[in-house]
Structure formats: structure tokens, C-alpha cells
Amino acid sequence: VNVFAMGGWMHAKLTLVALLTAYFFSLGHFRLKLKENTAYKSGKFFRMYNEIPTLLLMGIVALVIVKPF
């Protein structure tokens, strides 16, 4: 399957997947900071940060189902 012939929706979906992967690695960074007790972020930040994967996954699923472009 030629990925470049599938259209822009595939590139958009893969970009969201890459962002989700980067988010995953950032969680490891924050985990170490919390373990060392050197985290300078508030609880409100982490509650908001927790919503990022939900938004990314909704975008990925929407792109798979709708294939808008």
C-alpha cells in the first residue's frame, strides 16, 4: 500500500499518532520529576494535561472514519 497515494487524511492521522507518542514520552519525564519531588507544575496542569490523549484519540478515530481529505 502506497501511503502517499492515500491522501492527506493519512498524513494528518500519522501526525496525531506522533503527537500521542511524544505525549507518552513526556509522561515519563513528569513521572521522574514527581518521583524526585521536583515537579513545579500544579495539580490543575496535570488534570488538564490528562485530557490531551482523549482529544488526540478522538481526532484519530474521526480521521479514520470520515477521511475528510
Residue whose entry in the numeric block shows the C-alpha cell 513545579: 40
Contact between residue 20 and residue 61 where contact means Cβ atoms under 8 Å apart: no
pTM of the model: 0.79
Q: What is the pLDDT along the chain (69 residues), one digit of tens a residue?
A: 565 556 788 889 899 999 999 999 999 999 999 999 998 999 999 999 999 999 999 999 998 898 877
Residue 5 pLDDT? 59
Residue 64 pLDDT? 86
Contact between residue 11 and residue 60 where contact means Cβ atoms under 8 Å apart: no
Residue 68 pLDDT? 79
